[in-house]
Amino acid sequence: MIDSLDLARQSRMSWVNDIVIVLAELPIPVYWKIGEQNAIDSKTIDGLLADTRYSMESSINAELKAYSRTRDLLPNRLVMADGKWVHKVLAFRTYLRVRNDKHRVALTHAVLSGHSLAMERMRWSERYKPQVPTKWRLCRFCKTHLEDSIHALFVCSHQPLIELRKVFFVQLFSTHPELQGQYSDPGVFFRDLLVKDRIIGLLGKLAYEILEIYYAEPMLVINPAIYSPQ
User: HEC string of 180-210?
Assistant: CCCCCCHHHHHHHHCCCHHHHHHHHHHHHHH
Q: What is the pTM of this model?
A: 0.78
Do 103 and 204 fall into the same domain? yes
Please report whether residue 145 resides in a domain.
yes
Residue 225 banded pLDDT, cuts 50, 70, 90? low
Please report whether residue 76 resides in a domain.
no
CB atoms near residue 141 (< 10 Å): 20
pLDDT, tens digit, for every residue of 141-159? 999 999 999 999 999 999 9
Do 8 and 101 fall into the same domain? no
Please report whether residue 75 resides in a domain.
no
Domain that holds residue 155: 94-226
Residue that finishes a domain, picked among 50, 66, 82:
66
Number of domains in the chain: 2
pLDDT, tens digit, for every residue of 160-187? 999 999 999 999 999 999 999 899 999 9
Residue type at 198 in one-letter notation: R
CA 112 to CA 163: how far, in whole Å?
A: 25
Residue that finishes a domain, picked among 48, 66, 84:
66
